[in-house]
């Protein structure tokens, strides 16, 4: 079972036990009689489980970055926070949208359920919106026939030893987002052009030549959206001896 399913199940079970005890048993116990252990646990844990469920399902959920596909924006070992209501309020487990809030914008870093295996969460950058014609040729993005301009930037010292020396650090503008990306001139890229269907989004990693994204498995359907990544609250690297202090508190652009 997924974590949301476990939390929903625990909330229902503890809530029912507490409710039944309050309605039928509590009034029948004498003052000195101790309540059953299962009732005591249910009464103690239900409020905590319920609050955690509400926060994680409708407000903010933490995730850990497991791969290098979003370098240099996100590093392996980054712990991030994701805004769960940015793209609409959804019921946990069944993921049905019950309230419209907003939609992904070009350049957003977003978390979604991998279309080929919805049990896995992916994080990429929104490149194409519904109706867009997105092309990728010679390591350059074209949106509706317009080239997305990039500029070379000197590598930051924080990337030394993390990425191959042959990679090139660049600055790119997608919508209102100016962000960094990595290009590997020696690695071939999958090229092509696609028109994004309604209700779908084209996603790419910032580590362009080391990312399993929409170029390979297609677009992200709207019902797979989880939320918008916005903050790095912790970062841990065994290679750097533990907490990577300079990454704590970084906003995600």
**Each residue of 14-48: pLDDT tens digit?**
999 989 888 877 666 656 567 788 988 999 999 99
- Regions of the chain with pLDDT less than 70: 1, 26-33
**Each residue of 108-137: pLDDT tens digit?**
999 999 999 999 999 999 999 999 999 999
Q: What is the CA radius of gyration of the chain?
A: 23
For residue 32, the model assigns a pLDDT of 59
* Residue 232 structure tokens: 């790095």
Distance of CA 238 to the CA centre of its chain: 23
57, 84, 124, 211: the catalytic one is 124
**Catalytic annotation present for 124:** yes
pTM: 0.89
* Residue 184 structure tokens: 């590997």
**Catalytic annotation present for 211:** no
Q: Which CATH class is domain 60-247?
A: mainly beta
For residue 163, the model assigns a pLDDT of 87
2, 34, 44, 69: the catalytic one is 69
For residue 2, the model assigns a pLDDT of 79
b or e along 187-214 (b: 16 or more beta carbons within 10 Å of the residue's beta carbon)? eeeeeeebebeeebbbbbbbbbbbbebb
- Measured between alpha carbons, how far is residue 245 from residues 22, 33, 128, 189, 242 in Å? 49, 53, 34, 34, 9
Domain boundaries, the chain: 3-58, 60-247
């Amino acid at each position: 079972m997924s974590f949301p399913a476990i939390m929903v199940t625990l909330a229902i079970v503890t809530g029912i036990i507490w409710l039944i005890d309050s309605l039928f048993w509590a009034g029948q116990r004498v003052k000195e009689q101790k309540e059953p252990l299962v009732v005591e646990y249910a009464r103690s844990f239900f409020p905590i489980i319920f609050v955690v469920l509400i926060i994680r399902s409708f407000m903010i959920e933490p995730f850990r970055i497991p791969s290098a596909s979003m370098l240099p924006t996100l590093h392996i070992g980054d712990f991030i926070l994701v805004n769960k209501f940015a793209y609409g309020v959804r019921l946990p487990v069944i993921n049905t949208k019950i309230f419209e809030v907003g939609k992904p914008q070009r350049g957003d870093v977003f978390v979604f359920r991998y279309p080929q295996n919805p049990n896995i969460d992916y994080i990429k950058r929104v490149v194409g919106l519904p109706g867009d014609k997105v092309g990728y040729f010679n390591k350059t993005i074209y949106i509706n026939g317009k080239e997305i301009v990039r500029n070379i930037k000197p590598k930051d010292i924080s990337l030394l030893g993390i990425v191959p020396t042959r990679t090139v650090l660049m600055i790119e503008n997608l919508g209102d987002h100016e962000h960094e990306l990595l290009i590997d001139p020696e690695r071939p890229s999958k090229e092509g052009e696609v028109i994004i269907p309604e209700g779908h989004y084209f996603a790419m990693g910032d580590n362009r030549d080391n990312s399993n994204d929409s170029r390979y498995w297609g677009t992200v359907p709207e019902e797979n959206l989880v939320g918008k990544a916005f903050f790095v609250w912790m970062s841990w690297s065994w290679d750097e001896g533990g907490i990577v202090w300079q990454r704590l508190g970084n906003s995600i652009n």
